[in-house]
Structure 1
Amino acid sequence: MSRTSGARIIAAIFVVVFLIVIFRNEESAGTALLPYLPVLPSQRLSKPSSLLQAWIQDRTVLSEKSWKKSVELRDQMAKQHPDNPKVPFFPTDFLRFPFTIWDFFPATWTCPHDIQRVGRLGDGGKWVCGMNIYEGLPAPTAMQENVEIREAPIKAQEGLVIYSFGINAESSFEAEMLERVPSARIWGYDFSVDAWGPQIAAAYRDRTFFKKVGLGKEDKHESSPPFWTLPSLMKENNHTYIDILKIDIEGSEYDALDTMMDAFDNTRSASGNSVLPIGQVMIELHLGDGVHFDSRDAGSNVDFERFRNWWERLERMGMRPVWMEINLFAVTLGNSKSDPRCTEYVWVNAKDERSVLWKL
């Protein structure tokens, strides 16, 4: 046998062994050939490796460090403006103060899982931290066996609990969540429409619940339109926890979440942290423009001091920004709202032991 032929045989054997190792590592879903590079948990996994858990914890520590640095910079930048704490949202002297309000609140806490866009592109779709985790959750038994609820009732807190406020006939986000997450059940609320948008297929309607009410600061159930607070809705539904909260209520989000924080201000996690019973929030924040075009435009009353105090209270209760997307819809229309006054944020509750995002 020539040296060339021998070398080819050795090379072929090496390739075969290499492929076998790859496939074995892929099937075991532990770590690949490089043990220091963990893989994300797949739906086939029953228990992710301890290495992956340690990696998630390390990333969480680094994210917290990055977020704390941004909080320090926020304070420094605000103090540089002579109008602090009433800093203008959009300073007119941009050469001296080159920032907008959104620069004070960047998304500096990194989601340790995948982050995917769910729903249509543009207005209506939302970014979700840990979509692969949600997809891997088992559905309650009644859902798996496709039996009537009255025969095998699903407990209130079973499955992935999602609340959606502000529907406006656009339910592409909810439709995709129902399709991709077998355990998802969604409660929707909007006083301006009569039902979900047409995007939700009939096959998934039994996992949705709709009520024509608004989300408010106070319970006004007999008013027209009626308003409910978030704690009252949770109590009515026998929920003690919301996995995903989606909010787009045209400026009323400040008062609504104030009430939520008031209700759970004394609630402590196992580690002693004051936390909200919410795993993740997709929210559009509205600033208004100083003129009440709509009676619901509560954001018109928000200034920098109010916004910052509200935001930092949420941070103290565990919320961290992992994604932001400035909504340029009003700017594009070319009307009087020339500044980007609406921004989509995604917050995760980094201090919450109940979140499925941290139960790997």
Structure 2
Amino acid sequence: MGVRIVQICGLWFWVAFTFFFFVVIHQSRTLFNLTTSLQQATVPSNHSPIPIGLTTRQRMARSQSAWRSSVALRHQMAAAHPSNPNIPFFPAQQMSDFGKYPYTLWDFFPSTYTCPHDLQRVGRLGDGGKWVCGMSLYEAKPGLAVSHPSYSSDSRIRAPTIIYSFGVNDESTFEAEMLARIPSAHVYAFDFSVSRFGPQISPSYSARAHFSKVGLGAKDEYTRSPQFFALQTLMKENKHDYIDILKIDIEGAEYESLDSFMDFCEKEGGGVMPVGQIMIELHLVDDKNVGFERFMRWWERAENLGMRPVLLEVNLLAVTLGEGKTDPRCVEYVWVNARDERSVLLQE
């Protein structure tokens, strides 16, 4: 009887062991399959692992490489054209390396640099709103209890966020939202055609919203009415040696105005533009206004001073309204400064 009990216990032991063994094997295979699936989900088709944990400067270095390739292609395309392209639409041409197809000026200047942080649209949809690179970083900066700050602090965290806005008209949703969302923001707006901000600016922001009825130009014109000033002059008068965000929408005057500022940056600014990022609307009237060679020289001066295009948005408002314009002659660009050591965008 005792032997029989031992045999039965031994049989149950092997049954239990076998069951446990198969359960363990099954769970191990399930875990292996799950791990493999997760690995495959993070590996692209060429089986190269997706890099994670890149620093801001590493992401900017990769963007720099993509931007350089687009610059080389820009010159290659321009050289292949029998006589420099016209603005803004170029007719289809037989080009040895590119075939026959129509293209526009903006195809030569794509936004091939990548914003190293979040990219958010601020202000109303359509005309008036702007895209901002790294908006969350500006929002995270603490506010300062000063009404007219100068940008002289060495600390990017404690310094105010200085925003210059040229071309306000009666639409200030961009400026209003920047003031509402960025506690450290001080907006300096300039427009010779109106006397104040648009109605969107709340009186509660009056200590941080500064308006001047003047225009942006290539030189200082004190005797003109209203007066016009170069950007470097306005910065000096406001005791600013740095602008975090510069917004420009001045209906075609941007070329001469920025040329003047770039002269200043090249001579006195050490070859770097003291601006973190620029939202600019570019306007083209016809080839006599700004020819291709003139535009490319102007654009590449900005690039030489550190500016890189991270976004291009075609403004089709004039076409939509049926004003007799059928070409995409107005575009919005966002440039970030890749050589700017004071920019909040370089923070990790």
The normalised TM-score by structure 1 is 0.77
Deviation readout 1:29-82 (Å, 9 max, x if unpaired): xxxxxxx744xxxxxxxxxxxxxxx52122111100000000011011111211
Contact 1:267–1:275 (8 Å) recurs in 2: no
Over the residues paired in the alignment, what is the CA RMSD in angstroms? 2.2
1:88 CA displacement: 4.1
**Could you tell me how far apart the structure 2 residues matched to 1:132 and 1:246 are?**
18
Aligned partner of 2:215 in structure 1 is 214
The residue type equivalent to 1:104 in the other structure is: F
Identity %: 55
Q: Does 1:82 align with 2:72?
A: no
Q: Does 1:326 align with 2:294?
A: no
Aligned partner of 2:171 in structure 1 is 170
Q: Does 1:266 align with 2:263?
A: no
1:222 CA displacement: 1.7
Contact 1:120–1:173 (8 Å) recurs in 2: yes
**Could you tell me how far apart the structure 2 residues matched to 1:328 and 1:336 are?**
12
Query: Given the superposition, is the C-alpha separation of residues 155 and 99 from structure 1 closer, same or farther in structure 2, using an over 3 Å criterion?
Result: closer
Q: For 2:285, which of 284, 288, 293 is the aligned residue?
A: 288
Aligned structure 1 segments of 4 or more residues deviating by more than 4 angstroms: 153-157
1:333 CA displacement: 2.1
1:155 CA displacement: 4.3
The residue type equivalent to 1:280 in the other structure is: Q
Higher Cα radius of gyration: 2
Aligned partner of 2:3 in structure 1 is none
Aligned partner of 2:92 in structure 1 is 93
Aligned partner of 1:128 in structure 2 is 132
1:264 CA displacement: 1.2
**Could you tell me how far apart the structure 2 residues matched to 1:288 and 1:88 are?**
9
Q: Which runs of 5+ in 1 are unaligned?
A: 12-35, 39-53, 144-148, 291-299
Please show how residues 146-165 of structure 1 align to structure 2 within 5 Å: 149=147, 154-155=149-150, 157=152, 158-165=159-166
SS at match of 1:112: coil
Deviation readout 1:170-224 (Å, 9 max, x if unpaired): 0000000000000000100000001001111111121011110110011002212
SS at match of 1:98: strand
1:267 CA displacement: 4.4
The residue type equivalent to 1:317 in the other structure is: L
Contact 2:63–2:114 (8 Å) recurs in 1: yes
Query: Given the superposition, is the C-alpha separation of residues 156 and 66 from structure 1 closer, same or farther in structure 2, using an over 3 Å criterion?
Result: closer
Contact 2:247–2:279 (8 Å) recurs in 1: yes
Query: Given the superposition, is the C-alpha separation of residues 309 and 155 from structure 1 closer, same or farther in structure 2, using an over 3 Å criterion?
Result: closer
Q: Does 1:116 align with 2:120?
A: yes
Contact 1:78–1:87 (8 Å) recurs in 2: no
Contact 2:150–2:240 (8 Å) recurs in 1: no
The residue type equivalent to 2:300 in the other structure is: E
1:359 CA displacement: 2.9
The residue type equivalent to 2:60 in the other structure is: T
Contact 1:267–1:276 (8 Å) recurs in 2: no
Query: Given the superposition, is the C-alpha separation of residues 64 and 288 from structure 1 closer, same or farther in structure 2, using an over 3 Å criterion?
Result: same
The residue type equivalent to 2:216 in the other structure is: L
**Could you tell me how far apart the structure 2 residues matched to 1:208 and 1:87 are?**
41
Contact 2:88–2:328 (8 Å) recurs in 1: no
Aligned partner of 1:67 in structure 2 is 67
Deviation readout 1:261-305 (Å, 9 max, x if unpaired): 001103466xxxx21000100000001136xxxxxxxxx611111
**Could you tell me how far apart the structure 1 residues matched to 2:80 and 2:255 are?**
26
Q: Which runs of 5+ in 2 are unaligned?
A: 1-15, 28-50, 95-99, 153-158
**Could you tell me how far apart the structure 2 residues matched to 1:109 and 1:169 are?**
32
Higher strand share: 2
Q: Does 1:200 align with 2:201?
A: yes
The residue type equivalent to 2:307 in the other structure is: M
**Could you tell me how far apart the structure 2 residues matched to 1:189 and 1:267 are?**
24
**Could you tell me how far apart the structure 1 residues matched to 2:93 and 2:327 are?**
13
Contact 1:220–1:226 (8 Å) recurs in 2: yes
The residue type equivalent to 2:180 in the other structure is: E
The normalised TM-score by structure 2 is 0.79
The residue type equivalent to 2:272 in the other structure is: V
**Could you tell me how far apart the structure 1 residues matched to 2:93 and 2:58 are?**
39
The residue type equivalent to 1:71 in the other structure is: V
Q: Larger deviation: 235-244 or 88-97?
A: 88-97
SS at match of 1:324: strand
The residue type equivalent to 2:190 in the other structure is: Y
The residue type equivalent to 1:301 in the other structure is: N
**Could you tell me how far apart the structure 2 residues matched to 1:154 and 1:225 are?**
25
Please show how residues 43-54 of structure 1 align to structure 2 within 5 Å: 54=54
1:336 CA displacement: 2.5
Aligned partner of 1:31 in structure 2 is none
